[in-house]
Structure 1
Amino acid sequence: MQSVPDCLIMKTFVTKNFLLIILILAVGFAFAVKATVFQKPSVAAPPAVTTVLPAAFTTYWQAGKAEINTYRLEQAQAGALHTGEARLIFAVEDFRTDSQVQSATEASRDKVIPVLKANLFRTFAAGLEDYSLATSVFTPINSPIFTNTLKVSITAQDWSGHSYLQLNYRTNEYQVTGKSYIEPEADEAYAVPKAMLEDELWSRIRIAPDKLPIGDIQLIPGTITARLRHRKLEPLAARAKLESYEGVLYPGKLLKAYVIEYPTDDRSLRIIFEGEFPHTIVGWAETYPSKDNLLTSRAVLKKTIQSDYWNHNTPADTSLRAQLLR
């Protein structure tokens, strides 16, 4: 009996199973490029951070206390400047990278990284009306994997109502969600391309001011200012420079000024800080139009203390608060 050549057997098999072979090859290729519905989209790992933090950084920031700064404030709103007070509070904490909240249980310890949390509170009265503005920013400290600020949240309260906005860094972009009593901002959900956040600059100064970006850059503007101006967040072209501060308005020694200008937004920001560690922020000035008036909001440092304030919340601790407000 004459045998069938191997090539003829292979041809017959391919002919009968052509569609199956194509499907197998397609699935294999999809897995190779990580494009199937069964796989999570991959995010390229950001470049490793090469900053070497000084030993003084650990001594200062990981001693179990927060740094609390109080400022005299002039805040632009409704076409005028209003006096008030600002508090800028820094603390190192363990932050979950999955749910992006402070770690509070031992079970989550394998999911945390240290972040420098910056809480900025601004209160002022505009005529009869009270305003209260708060920003929380969570910036990783020297992480080779998580190099972007992971989360920003803000609240803005006045007598008309209140609003909330949150940015979460996921899959190489910032996911923005917001709620407000104002109709155009009542329910917001959109994505912003990855860029440095203006809100994180205060923390970047405290971590490594020599690594601040200089020149033409892209920045996502400050969230509170965007909310007060009813602007949607998006990266904007900006010019940044770091220079010595030569004025006399702000207290401190060997002062530096980090200056941001937005050519397309008629807005600028200047953050003044001490050139030597721990790089205390002694004030800032922010200029933009408010009801057709070009105004400069300004904060000037009054007092800095370190405290484990979370352990001092009884009536007897009122004296500590009095020391901060002097």
Structure 2
Amino acid sequence: MMSSCPQLDEILELYYLPPFYGIEFCVGFPGNLLVVLGYVLCLPEWRSINVYLFNLAVSDLIFLCTLPRLSYLYSNRQPESSPYACVINRYVLHVNLYSSILFMVWVSMDRFLLIRHPTRNHFLLRPRAALVVTGLSWLAVNVQVAPLIALMLQDLKRGNWSLCHDFASLKGDINTLGYSLGLTLTGYILPLLWLCLSSYKIAHLLRAQEGALPRRTTSYKRPLRVVIAAAAMFLVLYTPYHVMRNIRIVSGQDWAGLERCTKIYIEGLYIFTRPFAFLHSVINPVFYFLMGDQFRELLLTKLRELLSKTRRHRDPA
């Protein structure tokens, strides 16, 4: 009976995770690197939204750098041998997971305030205020993830510092299920609700202005579409991961009383959702080009200048 259960976790870790992580790195890393370099080299004047988007790109870029190692280990069936790499990888992963949606919340708030205060006279539309909000956001996310670090260290110590487990398999003095549920609520559900609320408030504001300022209302419909798209992206990508992570933790509890095959299927579904949750790092650069004020035009102008210089060096007169 036990032998009839397929080892889904081993199959997915060998044939599913490595290529998926590899593709995410190959597509997402150049896109986010281009955005970071574009902001540093091309943007003459920084606005509040640029601060949020730049930090979002930096977070994605750092996270994507962890994927090649994960892909290599999974493809070669090698466990993570370094406890330092284990902790750093899981830390970066979860900080990125929850900082991404939080920074997108501030982007949506920025767009709402810009529509309501087109002269940028609101204090939250100032770059200095955006820097303060960004610093507090990084602090909040690190506070959220700090218990996970303690939990990982306890789990590594139990395994003689040689077994690197994912979040749902950690065991320690901290209640893993309670912490995971709390992190799901504060790090995902509440920011997602805020994104949905921002979409509603922007749409309501545009409808109120439609009669008086039709041209301006038309020009501000793009932020509404982008905020709605961001909320839909996180809803589709994050929900399966968070649902399966909590179910996976429950399945490992003695009081759940689940059969071995059921646990294997749950573990397989949990593994299946993980790369999809990280797809936001690949998709996010699209929002930079759609939301950044004239960022696309400035970046394209800079690229044309570099290409023209390269051609002149190759074909001297």
TM-score by length of 1: 0.23
**Which structure: larger Rg?**
1
Q: Which has the higher helix share?
A: 2
Structure having greater relative contact order (Cα 8 Å, sep ≥ 6): 2
